[in-house]
Chains A and B, each alone.
Chain A
Amino acid sequence: MTRYAMVVDLDRCQGCRGCMTACKVENNTVEGNFWMYVFRFEQGSFPDTEMSFMPRPCQHCHNAPCVKVCPVGARFHREDHIVLTDADRCIGCRYCELACPYGVNYFNWQPPDEGQYSIVDWKDPDLEPVTNGLIPPYKNPDLDELWGDEQRRTAGGGHAKGIMEKCTFCVQRVEKGLDPACVDTCPTDALVFGDVENPDTPISHYLKENRTWQLLEEAGTKPGVYYVGGTRPSSELKEIERPKATV
């Protein structure tokens, strides 16, 4: 039986946030929604300070509190342990967000087209020949597809207004045998993804060769994301900056 998981090697992570960008490009998330987020921490006081980084995707918990509280079963576990949101079933109650101790859920507060990054005015007539009338100019068509044995719209579903979304481990890529976009993009191979039930996969070797820890183990959520090295988050750590992108 396949069990997908991710390893985040904090000793390799340099805080470039390339994974965040790759996630946004792949999943077309709106401004302010970070399915993958990289904390940049500072510890101590100047001049004795230390910086550390911690990527935070959805933890795809085996004992996921978000799955437990969902009133309609829109948040569910796949057989391969990926935790997904059925965009056709979610009613937008946001209970999953409250139940999650990791803060990985993002609600679509507005129509997604309006929330897209407005670096330029996409409706500008001068841009029309370039965008060919498509607004926003690119949208990953895979997100609207039905995936898995369940055939449910789980890859973000085109991000409809008023429903919940979160990291999917790029289910649309995993189904094609690819790694999630963040893993593929990481320049230092700090992210490793694969089937931990298969002893021959790189992630299984990684887990065997390294000591790992998990986020908020005391919450009993049994995350599917394992951390190697680095600094565990604590109240001593302060975020250097908070995301400016808002909705």
Chain B
Amino acid sequence: MSVDTRVERKLPQGVGRLRFGWLVFFAVAFVVFLVGLAAYFYQMSSGMIVTGMRSTGTMGGATWGLYIVMVEYFIGVSIAGVVLVAFAKVFNIGSLLPISRLAVLLTITSLVIGVLGVALDLGAPFRGFINMLLYARPQSPFFGTLMLVAVGVLFTSLVYLYLDGRKDAATIARIPSGLRWFHKLWAAGYGDTEPERERHRRVMFWLSIGLVPLVLVALSTEGLVFGIQVGRPGWYGSLQGPDFIVLAAASGLANLIVLAAIIRRVRGAEVVIGHTVFRWLGSLLLAATAAALYFQIVKTFTLLYATPGSERLISDALLSGPYAWIFWSSLTLMIISMILLVLQAARRAWSVPVLVAASVAVSTAAVAERYLTVIPSQTHGMLLPYEPGSYFPTWVEFAVVAGLFGLGAILIGGFMKVFPIIPLDFDTREVRTDA
């Protein structure tokens, strides 16, 4: 197929057209983002004392709080999109390709937010950017978080998104609009000739193969941030990396399902993003949730058998202490989600609303799990006999995190107005109308 030469009246998929519903959505997202920004400036001017974080030990606090919890969550979410697309490309699973662009966009958005979250958590963020370039130490897992994730995975995902979109850009660059310059720039002379297609196919294939190990290594460092700490009960262990990846896959797929359901609804793309897509996503979410639940149950049993000593401090805090309600709620949500997914798989009928409900449950459980990884080992994991501490986020932290979600909505919503979110090869409705 060559670039579509049929003359169209308007850009496809609502690109370039601002409808009332979208404007309301965008305005709300923007206001939330501004509130977050204002809260961050307040934090910058007053110091991080306006957060609920405090030093561990004599202050009895948690020095990493909600920001790092959400960083772990967002960076985790990023894994699913790009790995799913790579998987689809390598194994030639055409059914998943209608959501490939959305999936990569989810990866990019969550990575941008995740890396921003790290910056928001720094006491000296401007110096952080400079010193991480000047003095970076690859031996620190923090390097993995910022450099491998930010530079490696994010950059590769952007390249992926760019290459994958060139053909569509070339197609819609023929349509007169205010965005034509942008689409021309994106297409960069792409003519969809046979050699170009072959070259693209080859690059995308190898990029897909290269991306998976890169993502796995980069995201494993997220688990290593905690897993290599011998001095903090609850953290040290080789399972932190795999545990992170498994929960990341589940939460990422959950987010992708919710987003796909929203896009399907707002774009009226019930056929394009049809049941085959959701069957795939549902089955993969089932597998990922089963693995995450397995990890969680194994962890629960291990905690039950913790011997008196430092590990016991954490197991008591999680199983029956101040964090018990989060721990058991998270486990319950995972089990509920698992039941919903298994029932659907058994009946071989994937209902989108039920799948969305299961996804929201998995995603909420994932945030709770990240919270339980990051916080209790700080407040209750001191090896010297300090009194147990406590942590509760302040309104500033909630506002900043809400601002990050607002930014995510702006990025995804904004992208949908400048470029087709569903690859045109799969969404030919408007082309047919105009032909």
Contacts of B141 in A (CB 8 A): 69
On whether the beta carbons of A98 and B131 are closer than 8 Å, the reply is no
Assuming the A-B contacts A98-B63, A98-B232, A239-B386, are A72 and B131 also in contact, with contact meaning beta carbons closer than 8 angstroms in the complex?
yes
Say yes or no: A247 contacts B63, CB within 8 Å.
Answer: no
* B47 interface residue (CB < 8 Å to A): yes
Query: Which residues on B sit within 8 Å (CB–CB) of A68?
Result: 139-140
Q: Are B231 and A162 in contact (CB under 8 A)?
A: no
Which chain B residues border A69 with CB–CB below 8 Å?
140-142, 228-229
In the assembled complex, B198 has its CB within 8 A of some CB on chain A: no
Interface centre among B122, B125, B228 (most CB of A within 10 A): B122
Is A25 among interface residues, defined by CB-CB distance under 8 A? no
Q: With A and B bound together, what is the CA distance between A235 and B308 in angstroms?
A: 9
Chain A residue numbers with a CB within 8 Å of B387 are 239, 242
Given A69-B141, A101-B230, A89-B135 contact (CB < 8 Å): yes
Chain B residues in 8 Å Cβ range of A235 = 308-309, 385
Most B C-beta atoms less than 10 A away, residue of A32, A39, A109: A109
Partner of B378 from the list A98, A160, A242 (CB cut-off 8 Å) is A98
Q: Kindly provide the distance from the CB of B149 to the nearest chain A CB, expressed in whole angstroms.
A: 13
Closest B residue, CB atoms, query A160 = B124
Docked complex Cα distance between A39 and B139 (Å): 34
Task: Enumerate chain A residues within 8 angstroms of B229, measured Cβ to Cβ.
Answer: 65, 69, 98-99
In this assembly, does B158 line the interface, its C-beta being within 8 Å of a C-beta of chain A?
no
Residue B186 interfacial (CB < 8 Å): no
Nearest CB in chain A to that of B374: its residue:
A98
Contact across chains for A216 and B146 when beta carbons are under 8 A apart: no
Q: How far is the CA of A30 from the CA of B411 in the complex (A)?
A: 42
Interface residues of A in 24-75 (CB under 8 A from B): 32-34, 37, 39, 41, 56, 65, 68-74
A70 in contact with B140 given A90-B124, A93-B128, A219-B231 (CB within 8 Å):
yes
| Complex interface: stretch among B53-61, B92-100, B253-261, B277-285 | B53-61
Contact with A along B47-77 (1 / 0, CB 8 A): 1110001111111100110000000000000
A71-B47 contact in complex given A91-B124, A235-B308, C-beta closer than 8 Å: no
- The answer to whether A102 touches B54 (Cβ under 8 A) is no
B123 on the interface (CB 8 Å rule)? yes
The total of chain B residues at the interface (CB under 8 A) is: 49
Chain B 225-236 interface mask (CB, 8 Å, partner A; 1/0): 100111110000
Question: Do A233 and B384 contact each other (CB < 8 Å), given the known contacts A91-B131, A107-B63?
Answer: yes
For A147-163 the 0/1 string (1 means CB < 8 A from B) is: 00000000000001111
- Asked whether A111 lies within 8 Å of B384 as measured between CB atoms, the reply is no
Cβ-based interface call for B5 (8 A):
no
For chain A, the bracket of interface size reads: 35 or more
Is the CB–CB distance between B385 and A73 below 8 Å?
no
Asked if A246 contacts B135 (CB within 8 A), the reply is: no
The answer on a CB contact under 8 Å between B55 and A91 is: no
B143 within 8 A of A: yes
Query: Complex formed: what's the CA distance from A161 to B123 in Å?
Result: 7
Within 8 A of A (CB), among B274-303: none
Flag if B385 contacts A234 (CB, 8 Å). Answer: yes
Q: Which of A108, A216, A247 contacts B231 (CB 8 A)?
A: A216
Given A90-B124, A98-B232, are A103 and B58 also a contact pair (CB < 8 Å)? yes
B4 contact set on A, CB distance < 8 A: none
Which residues of chain A in 158-188 are interfacial with respect to chain B, using CB atoms and an 8 Å cutoff?
Answer: 160-164
Say whether A220 contacts B230, CB under 8 Å: yes
Do the beta carbons of B142 and A65 come within 8 Å of each other? Answer: no
Q: A68-B139, A71-B143 are in contact. Are A239 and B385 (CB under 8 A)?
A: yes
Q: Which residues of B contact A (CB under 8 A)?
A: 46-49, 53-60, 63-64, 118, 121-125, 127-128, 131-132, 134-137, 139-143, 146, 225, 228-232, 308-309, 378, 382-387
**Could you list 12 further interchain pairs (A-B, Cβ under 8 angstroms) beyond the known A39-B385, A94-B63?**
A34-B58, A65-B229, A65-B230, A89-B135, A93-B122, A102-B383, A108-B47, A164-B123, A215-B384, A239-B386, A243-B59, A247-B59
Interchain Cβ contacts under 8 Å between A and B, 14 examples: A37-B57, A71-B146, A72-B137, A93-B118, A95-B142, A101-B383, A102-B231, A103-B386, A106-B59, A107-B63, A109-B54, A215-B384, A242-B60, A243-B58
